[in-house]
Amino acid sequence: MTLTFTRREPLVSPAGDQAENQVGDAFDARWAAPLSDGTWAVVTQAFYRVDFQGRRFVESQVEYLWCRDSADPGSSEINANTEYIDHTDDVSDDPRVLAEQVVHTTAEEWARFCPSGAPKQ
């Protein structure tokens, strides 16, 4: 069985407060895929501007969440892993634009970053 992730609608949503040094609004994109044991893989990537030691840039937080219900991943979470990406060198410094253009989540990405104990497929 190969994981096939489906992007959530709407494609971009307001993401609230994501980081201590966040400046302005955050936006996210989310994907979900059913796992072989009946649970779900949910990947959410939130983009936001930060001001860190006088340096302003866009950062993203990618959450790899293993849960029981893809419609309510936070309340049904089994385990999660989070990665952070500095987007200083990206073409845009607009978090909304980066969330709109973010690349589709893959099965390989899930297998690499999924939380401990989660099925790889």
Q: Is 29 exposed, middle or buried (0-12, 13-18, 19+ CB in 10 A)?
A: buried
Could you read off the pLDDT of 105-114 as tens digits, one per residue? 888 999 999 9
- Read off the amino acid at residue 13: S
Q: Is residue 121 part of a domain?
A: no
Q: Is residue 59 part of a domain?
A: yes
Q: Is residue 120 part of a domain?
A: no
Instruction: Provide the number of structural domains found in the chain.
Output: 1
Could you read off the pLDDT of 67-107 as tens digits, one per residue? 999 999 999 999 999 999 888 776 577 888 888 888 888 88
Q: Is residue 20 part of a domain?
A: yes
Residue among 34, 33, 17 at smallest CA distance from 25: 17
**What DSSP designation does 73 have?**
T
Q: How far apart are CA 111 and CA 91, in angstroms?
A: 28
Supply the pTM of this predicted model. Answer: 0.89
Q: Taking phi first (over 0 means left), then psi (-120 to 50 degrees means alpha), and beta for anything else, what does residue 16 get?
A: left
**pLDDT in the model for residue 55:** 82
